[in-house]
Every structure is written in C-alpha cells, then in structure tokens.
Amino acid sequence: MSSTVQLQVQKTSITDLPPELLSVIFQFAHESATPVRLEKDIIPTWMRMEGPEGFQQSVTALVNPTIPEEPNLKSPTLFPYSLAAVCSFWRDVLCSHSEFWTLIVLFVDSKPTSLLEASLFLKWSRKQQIDVFITRRDGLRATFHPDLHEKCQIDALLHLLRPHLRRCRSLHVDAHLSSSFPIIQETFDGIQAFSLEFMELICDTHAFADSDDEDSDWDDDVDEFEPDLSRLVIDGRNFRLTSANLYNWLDKCMDLEQITIAHYKLAENDSYGVENLLDSLEALTSLDQLKLESLHFTRRPHISPEIFLTTPYVHLEDVSESFIEDISKFVFFDPFSVLRITRCPLPNLGGFIPDTLILEDISSNVKLLSAISAWEGENLWLDRCHSFSSKVLKSIARHRSSALYPCNEMCRLLLYRLPKFSILSLKKMIDRRNDYVDYKLPDWKITTDFGPAISHLAVMHCGFEKLSAKDEKWFRKRLVEFHWSSFSTSS
C-alpha cells in the first residue's frame, strides 16, 4: 500500500513581510525619491553670459538642455503616499519614520485632501523640517466653477498648518484664482517662521481685489509674521497689502535674494501706481533677482519719482509698454547686469543699460530695431523675436548719426529660434561693424577693443539645415568665438 504526501502551499500576502524588512525597503525608496529643489534662479546663471566662459556656457545649455529633476507632486506613485495607500500595515510602518513625511502634498481639487489626512501627514513628520505644497491635479480640476470652494479649502489647510509653520522650510500654494490666496499677514500673524526660506503663491487667473482690502485698518495689536525668506513668489495684491501695512513683515527679510511679483490689475478709481510698487521694492536692499509678471497699472505721466534699486538681474514678463517705459524713467539700477524681457511690447530700451539684454517671444508687431537701437550693452540675446529679419541685420550694420552703430557697444550676439534670414546679410553686418579690426595682427583676438565690432556669434535653431564649409571658414576667421545650429565649436 503506497502513501502519498500532500504538500500544502501556504498563501502569502503583502502583510507577511516583517516590519523591519519593510522599513529597509522603504528606506531605499525614500533615498531614491527626487528631492525638492528650492534653488531656482529667476535668470539662470547660463543665461547671463558672464566671465570668459559665459558665452560658451549659454550655447552649451541651449544645445544640450538639461532639465533638473523635480518630484512629480501630482503622480499617483509619489513616495510615501502611494505606498501608504496599499494597506494599513504598510501605512503604520511608513508613519513610524518621520523622515519619510518631510514633503507634505495637499490637494484642493475635486477630490481634495481631507483635513484628517492633512493633520496625520503633519503629525507623522513630527519635528522634521517640511516642504508644504497645496496644489491641484489637472485631471481632477472641475470643468465648471473651478474656483468653487477653493479659497475655503486653502484657508482651512493653512489654518491647520499654522502650528507647524515654524518648522516649514518652504510653502507653495497653487490656486486657480489669485483671490483664493490668503492675506499673508492676517493668516500668519504672530508666527516666527525662522526656517521658512521659500514661499510661493501662484495662480492661473488674476481676480480683482476687493476694494476694502486696500482701505483696511490694521490692528495695531496684531503680532508680526516673521519668516526668514531668501526666495519669494507673491501675488500683487499681497505685496501691496504687505508694503502698505505699518508692520511690514517683508522689511524683516534681510536675506531676501529673489522676489517675483505676479498678477495685479487696478480696480476702478484705484490710486495705486507703478511708483508705489517701485518705492516698496527700493526698501528690499538685499535683492539679487527681481521678476515682475502680468502687472497692469494706469499710467500717470506727471509723477516721476527717482527710485534706486541695487538689483543686478531683472525679468519683465507680460507687462505693458508703458510699464517698461515708466521703469526706465523712474528707476536707476546699480549695478545692472541682465535685463530679460518676455512676451512684452517694447518701447525704446535706451533708458536701460544692462550688460546683457535678453528678448524672448517678442511679437511680430514690435519694431525690433527701434527698441534696441539706443541700448548700449555688450551682450544681445534674441529668442523667438518674430519681427527679426535680414532688414534688422542690415540696419544694425549701418551707422547712425555721429558715426555710431545701433547697439553701438554690442560685441556678443546670440540668435536663437528666429525666423530664417539671409546669411549674406549676417556676413555683411559683421564685415561693416568689424571694419576697424586688424586681422593681420597675430593676437587680434585679445588686443582688439570690441564693440561695435562683433567678437562672439551664435546662430542656434534658426531654420538653417547646414552652414557651408566656405561660410563657416569665413565666420571663424573674423570672430573670436562662433557657434552654429545644433553643434558647438569655438575657434
């Protein structure tokens, strides 16, 4: 009689792994997660064309763009949230490690993060420094009335965050409407947030501020909000209210290096003007980089204050021609290294004297030569300037009155993603402006006083398939440094 041995295969589940082993696995996942990057320059270093290698670095960055990795905060696989959703056992193991919960992501969309969940995330992070993001997922944004309840949700989450703001390293609020933003000094009054390095308030759409906001009588007994910011992205309404307040918390930010002020439209009969904005900026003496975006003011030409800003890097985006004109009249920048202008109508830029002028995505309606002709800097960077043509090159090659060329001090020219133009006109421009260069001298590259003569030229992604060997040789014989299209070689 034979006997049979039956082997029983025991089923396993995700809860069978011991917590010690899970902790090790989760630690590996935590270490491989992409960290939050706070060091985001308004004008990246490679755009500034500074130093002997500056031009080469700019071209290299355009030929081989490297996009720094950022955690996808809206991804369903974001650590540790995805793993905590697997089962209660995994969640219990994860929440026993406070270092896993330093990135707090809270949603205010059609499936918002509940206050209970938010309070748990904050509790699990214990005494760790945290980065807090209040944001929305694109696929879950409401089609109708996308701002419905948004302000209430944000206010509730910020109220929950108040006791934890002292250990908050960065705070980011992404809203549909600017009216959903908190009034900073009211929401965070009395908090000494000395760990807060970066605060960012961004939105899709500007909403007119209530007229009562500007006329509010601030309570003298309210304790001041005291962050230690180095970078700030703030909406125009909050900036105005802050600077108008007797207890201006921005005045305490002695290490503030960067500020972006975005989205502001005047209400009817509003007295706030560009001079008020600039006057408030003058008090921020530590600023290294300034960005003004989508700010709209009624022009008042009879007011002409003198504003002095020690901000070397300035970016203007989606502002009016009169706004730029007013800044050029009101403001004295010292020093002034880079002016970057994006999607703006352009006045005559002769009132600005930055070393580097960067023009991006400029409309075909803009008369480019009229805008840049009187500018006296050394480095000109043109990107998607839709009115650029061979005629512009021909005009740059002609003397103005008093035997000066347009852009008379320009010696470095970077042409990027422009409409196709004539190579012959480019060669003639260099020939005319470089007519005083003595190419017979063996050391002409280092002894010539360039400007208006061109020393550096890059033509990148302007629609040309290939430069002929003959033309390439011509450019290399007459320029200190030359780059073309998708390759990068300097002589």
Tokens of 394: 């021909």
Distance from C-alpha of 177 to C-alpha of 40, rounded to nearest angstrom: 24
Distance from C-alpha of 133 to C-alpha of 105, rounded to nearest angstrom: 5
Distance from C-alpha of 341 to C-alpha of 321, rounded to nearest angstrom: 11
Which pairs count as long-range contacts for 437-440, CB under 8 Å and 24+ apart, including other chains? 437/478, 439/477, 439/478
Q: What is the pLDDT of residue 148?
A: 67
Residue 383 is assigned to a structural domain of this protein: yes
Nearest one of 382, 343, 379, 346 to 462, comparing CA atoms: 382
Residue 384 is assigned to a structural domain of this protein: yes
Residue 468 is assigned to a structural domain of this protein: yes
Distance from C-alpha of 229 to C-alpha of 193, rounded to nearest angstrom: 9
Distance from C-alpha of 238 to C-alpha of 184, rounded to nearest angstrom: 7
Nearest one of 424, 428, 488 to 459, comparing CA atoms: 488
461: left (phi over 0), alpha (psi -120 to 50) or beta: left
Tokens of 77: 């696989």
Residue 387 is assigned to a structural domain of this protein: yes
Sign of CA dihedral 124, 126, 128, 132: positive
Residue 327 is assigned to a structural domain of this protein: no
Residue 447 is assigned to a structural domain of this protein: yes
Q: What is the pLDDT of residue 266?
A: 81
Residues 6+ apart with CB under 8 A from 236: 178, 206, 261, 262, 263, 264, 277, 295
Q: What is the pLDDT of residue 134?
A: 97
**How many distinct structural domains can be found in the chain?**
1
Q: What is the pLDDT of residue 274?
A: 86
Q: What is the pLDDT of residue 406?
A: 95
The answer to whether the CB of 148 falls within 8 A of the CB of 142 is yes
Residue 472 structural domain: 362-491
Distances 220 to 129, 184, 189, 210, 223 between C-alpha atoms, Å: 31, 16, 12, 22, 8
Distance from C-alpha of 398 to C-alpha of 408, rounded to nearest angstrom: 11
Strands 231-235 and 198-205: parallel
Tell me which amino acid residue 261 is: I
Nearest one of 187, 200, 199, 249 to 229, comparing CA atoms: 199
Question: pTM score, two decimals?
Answer: 0.91
Could you write out the three-class secondary structure of the chain? CCCCCCCCCCCCCCCCCCHHHHHHHHHHHHHHCCCCCCCCCCCCHHHCCCCCCHHHHHHHHHHCCCCCCCCCCCCCCCCCHHHHCCCHHHHHHHHCCHHHHCEEEEECCCCCCCHHHHHHHHHHCCCCCEEEEEECCHHHCCCCCCCCCHHHHHHHHHHHHHHHHHHEEEEEEEEEEHHHCCCHHHHCCCCCCCCCCEEEEEEEECCCCCHHHHCCCCCCCCCCCCCCCCEEEEEHHHHHHHHHCCCCHHHHCCCCCEEEEEEEECCCCCCCCHHHHHHHHHCCCCCCEEEEEEEECCCCCCCCCCEEECCCEEEEECCCHHHHHHHHHHEEECCCCEEEEECCCCCCHHHCCCCEEEEEEECCCCCHHHHHCCCCCCEEEEEEECCCCHHHHHHHCCCCHHHCCCCCCCCEEEEECCCCCCHHHHHHHHHHHCCCCCCCCCCHHHHCCCCCCCCEEEEECCCCCCCCHHHHHHHHHHCCEEEECCECCCC
Residue 366 is assigned to a structural domain of this protein: yes
How many degrees, rounded to 5, is the angle at CA 184 between CA 180 and CA 187? 85
Sign of CA dihedral 292, 296, 301, 303: negative
Q: What is the pLDDT of residue 489?
A: 39
Strands 231-235 and 412-416: unpaired
Residue 425 is assigned to a structural domain of this protein: yes
Q: Please give the distance of CA 316 from its chain centroid, rounded to a whole number.
A: 11
Residues 6+ apart with CB under 8 A from 358: 43, 47, 338, 339, 340, 341, 381, 383
Distances 112 to 131, 168, 171 between C-alpha atoms, Å: 19, 21, 18
For every one of its 491 residues, what pLDDT tens digit does the chain have, with 9 covering 90 and above? 555 556 566 666 767 788 999 999 999 999 999 888 888 899 999 999 999 999 999 999 998 888 778 899 999 999 999 999 999 999 999 999 999 999 999 999 889 999 999 999 999 999 999 999 999 998 777 666 666 688 999 999 999 999 999 999 999 999 988 889 999 988 998 898 999 999 999 998 876 655 445 444 445 455 678 899 999 999 999 999 888 776 788 888 889 999 999 998 887 778 888 888 988 999 899 999 999 999 988 766 666 678 899 999 999 999 999 999 989 888 999 999 999 999 999 999 998 999 999 999 999 999 999 999 999 999 999 999 999 999 999 999 998 877 899 999 999 999 999 999 999 999 999 999 999 999 999 999 999 999 999 999 999 999 887 899 999 999 999 999 999 975 443 44
What phi, psi does 204 have (nearest 5°)?
A: -85, -40
